[in-house]
Structure 1
Amino acid sequence: MINNEKFKTSFRRQLASAICLSFCGWALSAAAAPTQQAPLTDTMMNEQVKAYDWVRPQADYVRKVVMIPMRDGKKLYTVIVYRKGVTDAPILLSRTPYNADKSTSRNRSQKIEEILPVMDAEFVNDGYIRVYQDVRGLDGSEGDYVMNRPLRGPLNPTKVDHATDAYDTIDWLVKNVKESNGKVGITGSSYLGFTSLMALVDPHPTLKAAVPQSPMVDGWMGDDWFHNGAFRTFGFDYDLGQTVKKGGGPVPKGTGDEYTAYLEAGSAADYARAYGLLDLPVVRKVLEHPSYDAWWQGQAVDKLLEKRKLTVPTMLVVGQWDQEDSYGAPAVYHALEKQDTANDMVSLVIGPWRHSQVNYEARALGPLTWEGDTGLQFRTRYMKPFLDCHLKTNPSPCNTPPVLTYATGANRWDVSQHWPAGTPTPLYLGANFGLSWTKPEAGSDSYVSDPAKPVPMLPRPIHMQGEEWRTWLVHDQRFVDGRPDVLSYTTGILDKPVHIMGAPKVDLRAATTGRDSDFVVKLIDVYPDEYSANPAMAGYQLGIGIEIFRGRYVNGFATPAPLEPGKTYAFQWSLPNVDHVFLPGHRIMVQVQSSLFPLYDRNPQSWVNSIMEAKPEDYVKATETIHRGGEAASAVWLPVVPD
């Protein structure tokens, strides 16, 4: 007889088991499978998503974005990047007006050396933490933007500036980036060189080293806005691109010859009016201060630092053919060197570079080629060891050259104990357009300077953009040699090298029939007419130093005054700092002219209170007379060293 209760229990167990084998197996397999999203093909919806994190888990680095608070409550957008796993790491900071986000997302790669600028590879591959920050008021940072914001004081009534912002940033970084060793360095080129220098004003105690490169130091004396009183017109394009939120970029003058565009516009102020640039505060400020007044002097960073004790080891860097900021680094070096009694706190580097080329591949500049990548050589052999010895934990001893320069012509790195290294030696303008190491007999040469036909800076058409702008200082000067308004003086063929190390000094004894005048002097290396070693350079006239002087400032940059027609003046100024060897078989040339257009605005050559506001009728021809020999001996004093 069948036991009904046992039968029922067994049946229920078998049924449950069967159901479980079917259902539970399906449930387990469903749980193991990826989550299925419902199809959207039949759904009409907004297909934009809020964000996408392009730094994926497989990236070999950490990239953090933080908003660092400043003492006035504003927060600055900051990107922190380092290789995964780093500890006890130094921090290398750059404060930029050129977008910290873009500076740290170059290729949106998952490899750290690919997302950062080229110059950063050597550092992050050796465990450095790299930090980029938007300066106040730009891109992701809060606050108001002021071009080259002056130090707090007479020109800045607020309590903040680039010095305080750097201090507050460094303070936050060393307290909050746990991977760091608590030591910070700062670097950057151009505007970033300026912010690097400003960090040295009352610096944070953990700022241990600085490498300002091509820094904007004095915008009137010889950096971006003026050179020795002559206004640099290319600044209008920069102003528009830098200070306008919408519609910024180059001035909308089209793609034609910039020589024609500036000539037809007239004065600098008329050009600004024609393109609506007077709406830009920075343009109005520059136009309102054509002379070296307290406004310009109060912003000069070399003067600010000269008044303070240097406590942070500093390596100042500039390119020999820097077309934008050739003045600043040497000026700061000379301001600080006098307090560097042990010759180990401030150093100067001059490389064979254009503006900021130190941070890129630097095997060549225009037609010139070097012995390898000089930018990489500098970064690996000199810059990184300098930062390592001051920033790393338990570093090797410092062995930084007091002065490091690249001898162009000879193609080698030179180390010096001081700068300038050469002895001032006069090379006199002589008769028959010759140059002489001995003072010649008295004489003179003349030319007519016509503002309606200014001497161009480059062969026309001129476009002050891209490669043409980057390399104009090394362009072959034969395109103006022989013009009736350009005087060319030349030595004979050299039978031995002439090596110069320093800033050549111009002593030009000249008179004009006008009430004002500009003078441009070019120091040129003339290659042999036959040059089989490099046929492209045969006869080439290579500019070694080119600089302008505005005549109204002959008695002082803060005290412009009209020139007395016919009176001989001593116009004296410096060419850029160089390390160059004029080789045997070459010749040395000096060119003299009265315009360099459209880089510099035209001098009307009549007297006007502000050349910025000159009217068409103010522009007149003038005869310029260059005296040579005797009591009025014009010369270029070369800093000559034995070679």
Structure 2
Amino acid sequence: MMRRLGVTALGLRNGPHRVTVERDLEVPAADGVTLLADRYAPADVEGAPTVLVRSPYGRRGPFGLMCGQAFASHGFQAVVQSVRGGFGSGGVFEALDEREDGLATIEWLKSQPWFGGTFAMHGPSYLGYVQWAVAAEAGPALRALSMQVTASTFREAVHVGGTFALESTLIWVDLTARMKNSLSGLTTGIMSPRRARRATLSGKPIAELDRLATGEQQRFFQELLVNGPDTSFWDKRDFSPTVSRVTAPVNMTGGWYDIFLPWQMRDYAALRAAGRRPYLTIGPWFHADQRMMRRSVGDSIAWFRAHLLDDPSELREQPVRLYITGAGEWREFPDWPVPGMREERWHLQPAGALSPDPPPESEPDAYRYDPDHPTPFLGGPTLLGETRPSTDQRRLERRRDVLTYTSAVLDDDLEIIGPVTADLYIRSNREHTDFVVRLCDVTPDGESLNLCEGMRRLVPGTPEPDEDGVRHVAVELWPAGHRFRRGHRVRVQVASGAYPRIARNPGTGAPIGTATEMLTADQEIFHSPAHPSTINLPVVR
């Protein structure tokens, strides 16, 4: 009864089945380490299909209710396992190294007398990543996957645009370092962002911030600092090459403000290119949004009923469902990118203007970036702690190290649904520097609300400058689904920092973990016929 009440308290719907629970089942890993799992089962159903959930965040409390009790009450068995190194499971937690333990768990699962012959996997974030780690090799017993706010690799999310995602990485390292038991789990989700933010504001070198946040040096954090996106460190942790080989039907849920959204969309594209028909839902959500978590359980139950119980009655007809911000409505489509989408290039103009018209001859705009006083960020994608990811940007836009380009008032609604990119023509006195581009919606009263953003770290020769020292910088922003309403304006921000979302660029080329010397960067943004900087919008008319 208490578990059913707990499910209701989380905003979930209980099913008709009474649930029994077996605690601390021992699962042998390939190296002999014992991993612990809890099994939830409908008391009146023999051999029900199983939902497997593997988590570094514990298997009791909210996770047990959302991933165990809820599924079992709807007629599925649910096995909720603690991954290696936490909550009673043996060994040492090796972040992102989940393939072997996942496959061993599946072999154990298939050998159990209560196993009914088929299973699915469910879970958000890391719980979704562990699905990709085994999906291509799990065999025909795997009938469905349902994953939220995740991707098949975290490589680019850690090193977004070649930068280093400092705040989210530090939060996650603190979160996993402390969540070893249920008591710490009650407060860690609240305190980890605060500890991470305090550490990033200390002025200490980045390599010391893990100790400031967690009380001790964290090996995984140190490994991330010295292993860029192109190093072999990521080879066994990157499952994107296997996505096209996954045959089990995949249900994806994401958020416009989630840290993994661009790479989740890449996984969707890989499945479509392989002839699969995944389902995709994107809402107005950030990474740890409880609204998304609640919806995803119901969507997973419908997905599992369709593919494990041959009951598709609760599935929607169209596979893609998107929430259009600005319009405040859900829309359904047959695919992504959506039919009828057309890229329109809006040009940065002199005097801070923005329009579809080509720019006239004009001098570049200039600003100075000082890494000793890095440009901050407001809102946008972060791991935890940001409940208003779309935030008024006017305080940020008043800074001298932020340029803005704003359109005329729109005479008609302008709807964008799809990938957003930017092409900047820049000149800098530093070969090592960053550029951040942010798209905003300006309301009639002047409020500037961020929609999506992207960043790019420049190194010598990438990209190559022309004879005048001008470099063409291509920036991939987060995808967007938004309606700019009539009477609003479109705005683009250009800056060279978003601290502490991304680590500051010292300008020297020194390793970011130990760099102490900070050099200012004098930046120029061009908008001329020869160098037409643009924001490229996926317009749907």
**What TM-score results when the alignment is normalised by the length of structure 2?**
0.86
Corresponding residue of 1:240: 174
Q: Is 1:476–1:542's contact at 8 Å kept on the other side of the alignment?
A: yes
> What per-residue deviation string (whole Å, max 9, x for no partner) do you get for residues 332-384 of structure 1?
112222111xx52x232211111142xx336xxxxxxxxxxxx766654x543
Q: Is 2:392–2:447's contact at 8 Å kept on the other side of the alignment?
A: yes
Offset, 1:614? 1.3
Q: Is 1:213–1:356's contact at 8 Å kept on the other side of the alignment?
A: no
Matched letter for residue 317 of structure 1: T
Corresponding residue of 1:313: 249
Offset, 1:169? 4.3
Corresponding residue of 2:527: 628
Offset, 1:255? 6.7
Q: 1:554 to 1:501 in 2, by over 3 A?
A: farther
Corresponding residue of 2:377: 457
Quote the Cα distance in structure 2 between the aligned partners of 1:128 and 1:465. 30
Corresponding residue of 1:68: 27
Matched letter for residue 130 of structure 1: A
Corresponding residue of 2:457: 550
Q: 1:169 to 1:590 in 2, by over 3 A?
A: farther
Q: Where do 1:94-105 residues align within 5 Å? A: 94-103=53-62
Quote the Cα distance in structure 2 between the aligned partners of 1:544 and 1:254. 22
Q: 1:546 to 1:166 in 2, by over 3 A?
A: farther
Aligned residue among 577, 580, 583 for 2:482 = 580
Aligned residue among 344, 352, 360 for 1:425 = 344
Quote the Cα distance in structure 2 between the aligned partners of 1:87 and 1:497. 55
Corresponding residue of 1:361: 291
Gaps of 5+ in 1: 1-53, 106-115, 152-159, 363-374, 530-538
Gaps of 5+ in 2: 5-16
1:79 is the counterpart of 2:18: no
Q: Is 1:237–1:251's contact at 8 Å kept on the other side of the alignment?
A: no
1:568 is the counterpart of 2:454: no
Quote the Cα distance in structure 1 between the aligned partners of 2:208 and 2:347. 40
Quote the Cα distance in structure 1 between the aligned partners of 2:145 and 2:383. 30
Corresponding residue of 1:135: 83
1:226 is the counterpart of 2:226: no
Q: Where do 1:465-504 residues align within 5 Å? A: 469-471=385-387, 473-504=389-420
Most deviating of 261-270 and 430-439: 261-270
Quote the Cα distance in structure 2 between the aligned partners of 1:90 and 1:492. 57
Count of residue correspondences: 516
Aligned residue among 511, 515, 523 for 1:614 = 515
Matched letter for residue 35 of structure 2: L
Q: Where do 1:117-516 residues align within 5 Å? A: 117=66, 123-149=71-97, 151=99, 160-162=100-102, 164-172=103-111, 175-177=112-114, 181-221=116-156, 223=157, 225-234=158-167, 235-243=169-177, 258=197, 261-272=199-210, 279-306=217-244, 309-322=245-258, 324-340=259-275, 344=277, 346-357=278-289, 360-361=290-291, 380=298, 382-393=299-310, 396=313, 401-421=318-338, 422-443=341-362, 444-458=364-378, 469-471=385-387, 473-516=389-432
Quote the Cα distance in structure 2 between the aligned partners of 1:413 and 1:554. 44
Corresponding residue of 1:591: 493
Q: 1:619 to 1:123 in 2, by over 3 A?
A: same
Q: Is 1:554–1:571's contact at 8 Å kept on the other side of the alignment?
A: no
Matched letter for residue 206 of structure 1: A
State which structure, 1 or 2, has the greater radius of gyration over its C-alpha atoms: 1
Q: Is 1:217–1:327's contact at 8 Å kept on the other side of the alignment?
A: no
Q: 1:96 to 1:255 in 2, by over 3 A?
A: closer
Corresponding residue of 1:39: none
Quote the Cα distance in structure 2 between the aligned partners of 1:313 and 1:294. 30
Most deviating of 137-146 and 291-300: 291-300
> What per-residue deviation string (whole Å, max 9, x for no partner) do you get for residues 445-482 of structure 1?
111111122112249xxxx896xx32353111111112
Matched letter for residue 493 of structure 2: Q
Q: Is 2:347–2:357's contact at 8 Å kept on the other side of the alignment?
A: yes
**What TM-score results when the alignment is normalised by the length of structure 1?**
0.73
Offset, 1:89? 2.8
Q: 1:554 to 1:78 in 2, by over 3 A?
A: farther
Offset, 1:147? 0.4
Of all paired residues, the percent bearing the same amino acid is 26
Q: 1:251 to 1:485 in 2, by over 3 A?
A: same
Offset, 1:326? 2.6
Q: 1:55 to 1:217 in 2, by over 3 A?
A: closer
Q: 1:568 to 1:165 in 2, by over 3 A?
A: farther
Offset, 1:85? 1.9
Quote the Cα distance in structure 1 between the aligned partners of 2:194 and 2:306. 49
Q: Is 1:447–1:486's contact at 8 Å kept on the other side of the alignment?
A: yes
CA RMSD of aligned residues (A): 3.3
> What per-residue deviation string (whole Å, max 9, x for no partner) do you get for residues 122-141 of structure 1?
64443222221111232122
Quote the Cα distance in structure 2 between the aligned partners of 1:71 and 1:545. 43
Offset, 1:75? 2.8
Quote the Cα distance in structure 1 between the aligned partners of 2:46 and 2:107. 23
Matched letter for residue 520 of structure 1: V
Offset, 1:252? 10
Quote the Cα distance in structure 2 between the aligned partners of 1:310 and 1:283. 30
Quote the Cα distance in structure 2 between the aligned partners of 1:121 and 1:492. 53
The SS at the match of 1:330 is: helix
Q: Is 1:427–1:638's contact at 8 Å kept on the other side of the alignment?
A: yes
